[in-house]
Structure 1
């Protein structure tokens, strides 16, 4: 029996659809997997030493920081002595590594060359995310039931605190402005802080619960926020604080990143997938792809200098903990 022929228009539609699916899938290519065989439990955030070709992984459940060589895609060293490390930050200007210990209530500062500790900053309960303010040469730590601690990057000495309405999760710093934009899920808000004056200047409502990850498109004046209940990405006008777009995402997100070159947003979801959105315009977003990763792989790091997206996958069953290395195109 002869196969029925499709009308030319329908055939072209299918071909274009297949090409679109292929093109979107080709936007992320799994280039390598770096095993961390001794690591057990939950994995939190990552930091990169771009020049040194190293990746630092906060293995929260293992109480270690893992050091990876991303040139050779291999595990180098496991640093012990931490207590639920959550946030990690590498500062190239001082060659220091900052590690925020959630259960230890402290931030450890390490010499990034020797990987030996040089200072411990106490009384920072539930120390979490860490960011570097290059303009002011300070390090900002989110901690406690609602505060940011500002540290001098060279000495580690305190330069002040900013009080918030709840524990801060992800936050982003403007490079060309004075503001810090902070997810405060307990208050269901985004706090806007003037880091020069060290005061909160605004609070934006979040129409969802458990808003953890955040990314900023400073040039386009858009802020991207991931929420878990419901699982949605919210897009804010970074000037007015109004929600201008939203999109459904996978469950249990803990990291998302904006790719300014390709106008994409990468949403890492603990449900075992990586959602990719394309920014058609500041207020319009199209889902390009949903890439399968690994169970409970909800954190990672986008390194634009290397055109790599790293996704941390905890040990599960016979599969060891590992970092999935995606090349972006």
Structure 2
């Protein structure tokens, strides 16, 4: 039977299981190892990160402060702030063989291409206003980036298809929604799953025809932004924001498998196929779930992240990063670095 378990109930059950099982001394899934303050960033949200493994860098966009904050990936040390180029940075994508950073600039209506050595502007790819979330398909070297919609006071948006090699828009996928959020690639079926937040729906995009072929909705799905994907076990994870609920979906049938309580206002979900865990970050903190089987999940740990809701996991370093803004929960903005056990 499908049901919603409150986070507090799951936490109590998890603690009892640990105590009764004699494994209370085991290391928690996430351990805080570094905190880096950002006193100069005095307000506004951060958005989705990019990682440069070869040069040991983490890039974090600050939307209102109009900057890209650069950190040392291994330690979390703040290296510098990139200002004066982007006006409303959202999703970032780093292309290693070009040493180029692609930046969705919502305010300007561009995808800016920056040289990641000194961050000068290489090219400005014109889009509609409101460029926000996107994903990179390394197979085809294409970025799928949502834009338009609410920023134009319109009920329809597009997903622009951008070639990282020609640095041009090579196609568009029309979407009947004002707000496009989280996306996940399904390489096995050559699909893109897309959160349509204002519609409380998940759209299925066929990448061959570049068209929406189906849309799904489920009772209680509202404010859906975060999305994760387990390719091996064929499970799609969708986060409702308020109240915080994780929806587990069979992407082959479009059927709801189950729902589980989690943090409110989730913005990122990461599935770790090695540990078979799902990490959900939201305004209430981070929840780490164990996947007992494709249909059953247990809360292992809840971590306070001072309101940080955007995150990224770097498997090769076994480190997880969350950034929080200045606000009620934190006197100043900052980055938290967690060791993943």
* TM-score after normalising by structure 2: 0.87
Change (3 A) 1:14 1:65: closer
Q: What residue number does 1:61 align with?
A: 64
Q: What residue number does 1:8 align with?
A: none
2:127, 2:147 within 8 Å by CA — same for their partners in 1? no
**Structure 2 residue matching 1:62: 3-state secondary structure:** coil
1:190, 1:206 within 8 Å by CA — same for their partners in 2? no
What CA distance in whole angstroms lies between the structure 1 residues aligned with 2:158 and 2:49? 22
From 249, 262, 265, give the equivalent of 1:249.
262
281-290 vs 124-133, which moves further:
124-133
257-266 vs 175-184, which moves further:
175-184
* TM-score after normalising by structure 1: 0.90
- List runs of 5+ in structure 2 lacking aligned partners: 1-15, 150-156
- Deviation of 1:323 after TM superposition, in Å, equals 0.9
From 70, 79, 82, give the equivalent of 2:82.
79
Q: What residue number does 1:49 align with?
A: 52
Higher relative contact order (CA 8 A, sep 6+): 2
Change (3 A) 1:308 1:265: same
- Deviation of 1:190 after TM superposition, in Å, equals 0.7
1:194 aligns with 2:196: no
33-42 vs 239-248, which moves further:
33-42
User: Quick check: which has more Rg, 1 or 2?
Assistant: 1
What CA distance in whole angstroms lies between the structure 1 residues aligned with 2:196 and 2:37? 33
Q: What residue number does 1:153 align with?
A: 164
- List runs of 5+ in structure 1 lacking aligned partners: 1-12
1:209 aligns with 2:222: yes
1:94, 1:153 within 8 Å by CA — same for their partners in 2? no
1:236 aligns with 2:288: no
1:97, 1:111 within 8 Å by CA — same for their partners in 2? yes
**Structure 1 residue matching 2:327: 3-state secondary structure:** coil
What CA distance in whole angstroms lies between the structure 1 residues aligned with 2:170 and 2:17? 60
What CA distance in whole angstroms lies between the structure 2 residues aligned with 1:279 and 1:15? 16
Q: What residue number does 2:277 align with?
A: 264
State the Cα deviation string for residues 138-187 of structure 1 (Å, max 9, x = none).
11111111210001111211110001121210101123331000000111
